[in-house]
Structures are given as C-alpha cells and as structure tokens.
Structure 1
Amino acid sequence: MEVTEKKRRRDAGVLQITERDIFTLTWISEQFCISFDQLQKLLGRNAKQATKTEGTLSISATRNAIDRWLQLALIETPRKVLKEHSSYVWLSRRGLSQLGIPYSYYLPKPSTANHIYIMVP
C-alpha cells in the first residue's frame, strides 16, 4: 500500500489580510488609536469562535492578531501612552496606505489619550 503525501498549498505560511483585519484596522484608524483592552472587545465582536468571556477576545488571541499586523507592517509597535491605560495600537503609515485609508498618520500623545479612551460597548 502506497502512502500519498498531501500537497502543500502554495500560499501556506504566507500572511494574508482578512476581512476582520480590514474592518478592525479601519475602525482603529477612524478613532486614531485603540487601547489593548478596547481591541480585545472589538475583535471579540467578530471572533471566529465563541470566547470564554462573551464578546471579548483572549489576551493571547489579541496578541496573535497584533503580531500578525506587525509582521505585515500595518501597525506600529504598541506602547503605553498613559500609565493608567493598557498599551495603545495605531496604524503605521504603510498600513494606512496599504488599506487605502484616507487619514493622516497619527502618533498617540498623553494629552489626547483620555479623550480617545472610551470603552467599546
């Protein structure tokens, strides 16, 4: 009996942008930036599977999305803006261009972080 090997897909291992990525990154660009805890809720709304906490993506799954976006150069490296808040995520210049988003590049500042930090319902 001969064992046949499954052919590996040509695009296996190649990072690709999903519809959820486009929705989420566009939303982030419209708000300028998003905190990690807000991002968990935003991604949780469109989770591929049920989440442990309803409507909130896990920390590891959220980090995986961020890591993929970083590898695709769609976002800047997340960083804290205010001590009391979690790290913030915002699009890179390349991300804005790649997604065809007509907004200017934004770098979060402590003076505007409280204004931007509104909990996602």
Structure 2
Amino acid sequence: MSTAPLKSTEVATGDALAKQIAEIIDAEVKDAASLAKATSAQDTANKIDQLFRKTLAANSGGAEDFLYTFWDVTLKSVATIPATDQRLHQLITVIQALQEKDTAQIEIWDAKTSVWQDLPMLGPALRDAWN
C-alpha cells in the first residue's frame, strides 16, 4: 500500500492541458490516509468530460489532441503505481465511470467513434508509451 498520493502533475509533460488533466486525476487518486477526502470516480469522470467538451468547443479539431494527452497523462501516472496498490483501482474506476458516460460521436482519423465508450487514441498512446 502506498504512503503518498499520486502526483500526476509530476509526470504530466507538455502543455497546460496535460497539467489540468493531471490535477483532475490527482483529486481522485489518493493514498489510503487521504482516501476519505478523494472525490468520487463519477465526479472525476464528469470533470474530465467537461474539460473535454470545453476543449472541443474552443477548437473543433481538438478531440484527437485532448484524448491523446489524456491517455498520455493517465499512462504515465499508471507507470508510477505498483500493481497491488489501491490507487490503481481508483484510477480504473475513473476510466470505468468515463465509459459509462453518454457521449456524442466524433470523427478521428476519418472514422466515427464514441469518445469514452470506444476509448479512441488509447492505442496510439499505448504504442508511444511502450516505445
């Protein structure tokens, strides 16, 4: 069991969007001592989805960038968590809450996809993380 909260902001490299996503994730993923103060996975998923919608409203072509950045931050955060740590489960519940959201279809790489159900850009982010 971990003795410290996750610090996604320490692994979030790049632009302000990556930092915003990391701050939202850090609010949910806490160590056991801080668990009572953690936001619910549903609240965290709502905040991530709201940030996605805000980003999309500001830049109609921003879906791909947002989703890649989201997965990049998430994967870098996961890499810092031991497999038996309860923080990993907390992060998984956020992803599950996102998948339960009713989201519109978007087009990425000339294909229609559902933002949270299909988890677009996860594959490319995983490939880059493994390289």
TM more than 0.5 = no
More helix by share: 2
- TM-score, L = length of structure 1: 0.31
TM-score (norm 2): 0.29
